[in-house]
Amino acid sequence: MTRSHSTPLSVVILAAGEGKRMKSPLPKVLQPLLGRPLLSHVIDTARELDPQAILVVYGHGGERVRSALSAGPVTWVEQAERLGTGHAVLQAMPSVPDDHLVLVLYGDVPLLSAATLARLVALAGPTQLALLTMQPEDPAGYGRIVRDSGGHVARIVEQKDACAGELALRECNTGVLAAPARLLKRWLAGLGRDNAQGEYYLTDVIGMAAAEGVVVNPLVLADPIEALGVNDKAQLATLEAVCRRNTARELMLGGVTVADPARLDVRGRVTHGADVFLDVNVVLEGRVKLGDRVRIGPGCVIRDCEIGDDTEILPFCVLEGASIGASARIGPFARTRPATVLADGVHIGNFVEVKNSSLGTESKANHLSYVGDAVVGAHVNIGAGTIVANYDGANKHRTVIEDEAHTGSNSVLVAPITVGRGATIAAGSTVAGEVPAGKLTIARARQSTLEGWQRPTKRKKT
């Protein structure tokens, strides 16, 4: 999102709140939305504005907040004492050059779009402020925007300081504003705390500006949802639902068929081809790439996977870190763990786990198996209950199963081992040595029947 004018920009994100109402030891701004911290959403949006600096004012849980968000260039500013929003912004001012515009955001208001913020910033300038306002259904708790008889923004009055007439005002403060640093610094330094909460209110700078004849340009949010903040877990769930609806809508408008948009969770980035179908209760995390005509059955959790054209994932699969070819069939109840590579036409059936292994074209493991640290060729049949014993209690070892091999039901392959091309392993075998190509290998006790054997009978009590 390139800004249309060139005034340098510093974004100040307030994140010093304690978040008591979260009732959680995790600092509020680290609570996850779509699987990542609230604050990281705000930082990412700020980045889209291409600012010269992003300054995060932190206080509560400081070290934890800093280390959780160490990636990316952010300047950390400590607010040791929480004396109000004006005091919080003031802490960041020493690091902001006078000729910058300052955009104030909040670590617990994660849904504002970069487009909205760019419009706001464009309304501010060296001698003008911009203020983001809204008209929520219920204005309770918000500061009210007081306009003069000419309709110009004159000041903001906090709910707790407002008289009855002011409380009736419908236009509310989102808290987000853009102001020239030179003026903002002067106003912040002049703030008092003679108000109902005994705090330094950032909102008071609006009245100070208007009193000096500095224009405050309001931008009224069309949809107050964008400015929703998070104070408790119920509001967090509300925001998650908003995000869920938005991502599902985006996918549907991109051509994906979604069985129920209220029952699809996307916590990452999804790219997709044409005619993809996502059934109910699907969770997609990390980076997920879906080819043409991919079908995902109900209840699947898929993280960091690539799935090829025409592949079907049947219900209740948990797939992580898999690269799956075209026309494969996975599940129901299959699990892949990282570094799984499945070629075209592979079938993975119920209660089969695959880890750090590759399966070649049209190979099958249809029932009750574990395949770990294995290189499996093409057209291999892994029989029901086959276990690749890759772990000796200390180290993991590799197994190679060459093309067209068949492993019998309930066989154990003790790694490291190579099963030769076209080899067959008899059912119930535990193989730890060479399994030659093209032959039947049996490694189990021979069946025998005892003639004249009698089943014991109960002795009569005397």
Based on the shown chain and the rule CB under 6 A, indicate whether residue 82 belongs to the binding site for ligand UD1: yes
Based on the shown chain and the rule CB under 6 A, indicate whether residue 108 belongs to the binding site for ligand UD1: yes
CB-based contacts of 98, cutoff 8 Å, min separation 6: 181, 182, 185
- The maximal CA–CA distance of the chain, rounded, in angstroms, is 114
Based on the shown chain and the rule CB under 6 A, indicate whether residue 13 belongs to the binding site for ligand UD1: no
For the bound state, the minimum distance from the C-beta of residue 108 to ligand UD1, rounded and expressed in Å, comes to 5
Based on the shown chain and the rule CB under 6 A, indicate whether residue 143 belongs to the binding site for ligand UD1: yes
From residue 305, alpha-carbon distances to 196, 234, 302, 339, 376 in Å are: 54, 31, 7, 10, 20
Taking residue 246's Cβ as centre, other Cβ atoms within 10 Å add up to 14
How many positions of this chain bind ligand UD1 (CB under 6 A)? 27
Q: At what angle do helices 204-211 and 181-189 cross, to 10 degrees?
A: 110
Based on the shown chain and the rule CB under 6 A, indicate whether residue 202 belongs to the binding site for ligand UD1: yes
Active-site residue, from 60, 367, 379, 397: 367
Residues in a beta bridge with 220: 133
From the list 30-38, 105-113, 254-262, 361-369, the region that binds ligand UD1 by CB under 6 A is 105-113
CB-based contacts of 204, cutoff 8 Å, min separation 6: 86, 155, 156, 187, 191, 192
Based on the shown chain and the rule CB under 6 A, indicate whether residue 367 belongs to the binding site for ligand UD1: no
95 neighbors 52 (Cβ within 8 angstroms): no
Q: Any catalytic annotation for residue 152?
A: no
For the bound state, the minimum distance from the C-beta of residue 131 to ligand UD1, rounded and expressed in Å, comes to 10
134 neighbors 172 (Cβ within 8 angstroms): yes
Amino acid at 143: G
Site string for ligand UD1, 48-67 (x = CB under 6 A): ---------x----------
For residue 41, which phi and psi values (nearest 5 degrees)? Answer: -60, -45
**Residues in 394-453 that interact with ligand UD1 by CB under 6 A:** none
Which of 124, 130, 142, 331 is close enough to bind ligand UD1 by CB under 6 A?
142
Based on the shown chain and the rule CB under 6 A, indicate whether residue 173 belongs to the binding site for ligand UD1: yes
Rounded Cα–Cα distance for residues 314 and 62 (Å): 45
Based on the shown chain and the rule CB under 6 A, indicate whether residue 105 belongs to the binding site for ligand UD1: no
Which of 31, 203, 356, 429 is close enough to bind ligand UD1 by CB under 6 A?
203
Which residues are near ligand UD1 by CB under 6 A? 14-17, 57, 79, 82-85, 87-88, 106-108, 142-143, 156, 158, 172-175, 201-203, 229
Active site residues: 367
